[in-house]
Amino acid sequence: MPALSKFSSKASLPAPSLIDRLARWILAIPAIRTIFAVGILGSMVVRMAIANLVQRVLGTAPKRANLIMSEDRKRAAEFRLLKDETAGKHRYATIDGVKLHFVEGGSKTAPLIIFLHGFPQNWTIWRNVLPPLARKYRVVALDMRGYGGSDIPEGGRGAYSLTKLTGDVKELAEMLQVEAGNDKDAKFTLCGHDWGAVVSWEFAARYSRVLSHLVIVNVPPPNAFDRNMTFRQLSKSWYIVWFQIPGAADKALTENDAAGLGNMLRDIRNVKEEDIDVFRYGMFREEGRMTAAINYYRANMAGSTDAFTKIPTLDVPTLVVWGENDIALDLTTALWGIEDYVPNVSVEILKGVGHFVPDEEPANLAETIQKFLQ
């Protein structure tokens, strides 16, 4: 693999079109952005309702018996989530009164990398990334609060503010560094995907002094994303508005053993049905887990009191790995001008790969991370 170089959006991406530039100007007005977002959600709801009606009329709607997981599948999923040590040892730490689950591999005294997953998954997205990196690093994959084997915190959506989420990472890192005989503020590498990447950007803005490197998978820095908003990206983000409706997505995605969640993930390349079972089980094994996951969106968007810290000019060496076929994030919208905020950034764009890079290309991702850290 050739050496990674600093990224230039002007050299690597097509320039924004006139329509995109116009959209940025229009959508910079919060009220207009909200009106468009609600309209897009309405059109999506109508389309889904029509599709369901057609299924019922034609008799092609799946039967509930074919949707729910058997007891054997549930037991297998529980084992992989909470007991299987193929990728590392299962551990727990109580932080801010919440019992958090994580999986650890590698030598305790090796340089530390903490991995954060996203919605709607758990630590197992890193199951094939950890082992090759564990040969040289201490690798730790966290189930973020409310997910996987970690407890659901008390306090409703307020328990999922970015202050709370970054605080979990900070305290976990301090605990692990002290275990290794290091100063609690010793530097480490943070790697996040999806919501884990959102938390990683925020962590870097607040605690850059403790980061040696930052690795981001398929999420732009929030200020670049906000500045670059287009109608195309807004249409991809319709589900975020849906998530703001109390109970709507919670019920739809949890019923029938989170079968709807399985449908969302079934087209991911290299993800097997048993992998999907682990993600599904993590969401229905205890009442309230889907709501916990969706509360990440409710606590930190739509006029929340704990908004994103605006990323300053970040001097932490940063790697952004991006699957170009992301269905949720438009490549140009996400990355155009990223170097204005993160001057020391390298970007690796993976062709033919979608949003779920850790699942789709784990070996490639592990190799790219290792190359970046050398």
Q: Is residue 216 part of a domain?
A: yes
Residue 307's pLDDT is 46
Containing H/E element for 10? helix 9-12
Which CATH number belongs to the domain containing residue 66 in this structure?
Answer: 3.40.50.1820
What are 332-370's pLDDT values in tens digits? 888 999 998 899 999 999 999 999 999 999 999 999 999
Residue 66's pLDDT is 60
Grouping H, G, I as helix, E, B as strand and the rest as coil, residue 275 is helix
Residue 355's pLDDT is 96
Q: Is residue 3 part of a domain?
A: no
Confidence of residue 2 (pLDDT cuts 50, 70, 90): low
Number of domains in the chain: 1
Q: How far is CA 35 from CA 58, 229, 234, 248, 336, in A?
A: 35, 14, 11, 20, 25
Question: Cα–Cα distance between 55 and 22 in angstroms, integer?
Answer: 39
pLDDT at 35 over 70: yes
Grouping H, G, I as helix, E, B as strand and the rest as coil, residue 283 is helix
What are 122-181's pLDDT values in tens digits? 999 999 999 999 999 999 999 999 999 999 999 999 999 999 999 999 999 999 999 999
The model carries a pTM of 0.93
Residue 162's pLDDT is 93
Taking CB atoms within 8 Å and a gap of at least 24, the contacts of 68-75 are: 68/256, 68/257, 68/259, 69/257, 69/277, 69/280, 69/281, 73/274, 73/277, 74/277, 74/281, 74/285
Q: Is residue 4 part of a domain?
A: no
Q: Percentage of the chain surpassing pLDDT 70? A: 94
Residue 59's pLDDT is 72
What are 10-27's pLDDT values in tens digits? 888 888 899 999 998 998
Mean pLDDT, the chain, whole residue set: 91
Do residues 190 and 214 lie in contact, with contact meaning Cβ atoms separated by under 8 Å? yes
Q: Percentage of the chain surpassing pLDDT 90? A: 66
Lowest mean pLDDT among 223-227, 236-240, 306-310: 306-310
Q: Is residue 109 part of a domain?
A: yes
**Full domain range(s) for residue 352:** 9-373
Q: What is the mean pLDDT of residues 295-321?
A: 77
Grouping H, G, I as helix, E, B as strand and the rest as coil, residue 272 is coil
Q: Which residues pair with 138 in a beta bridge?
A: 112
Amino acid in position 278: V
Residue 305's pLDDT is 43
Residue 318's pLDDT is 96
Q: What is the mean pLDDT of residues 302-327?
A: 77
Give the number of other Cβ atoms within 10 Å of residue 143's Cβ.
25
Residue 271's pLDDT is 93
Do residues 1 and 361 lie in contact, with contact meaning Cβ atoms separated by under 8 Å? no
Question: Cα–Cα distance between 100 and 118 in angstroms, integer?
Answer: 15
Q: What is the mean pLDDT of residues 217-231?
A: 89
Q: What is the mean pLDDT of residues 236-249?
A: 90
Q: Read out DSSP for 87-146?
A: S-EEEEEEETTEEEEEEEES-TTSPEEEEE--TT--GGGGTTTHHHHHTTSEEEEE--TT
Rounded to 5 degrees, φ, ψ at 275 are: -70, -45
Say which residues have a Cβ less than 8 Å from residue 49's Cβ, sequence separation at least 6. Answer: none
Q: Is residue 260 part of a domain?
A: yes
Q: Is residue 317 part of a domain?
A: yes
Lowest mean pLDDT among 29-38, 63-72, 219-228: 63-72
Residue 279's pLDDT is 97
Q: Which residues pair with 348 in a beta bridge?
A: 321
The strands making up 138-142's β-sheet, listed across from edge to edge, are: 89-95, 98-105, 138-142, 112-116, 188-193, 211-217, 318-323, 345-350
Q: Is residue 367 part of a domain?
A: yes
Q: Is residue 2 part of a domain?
A: no
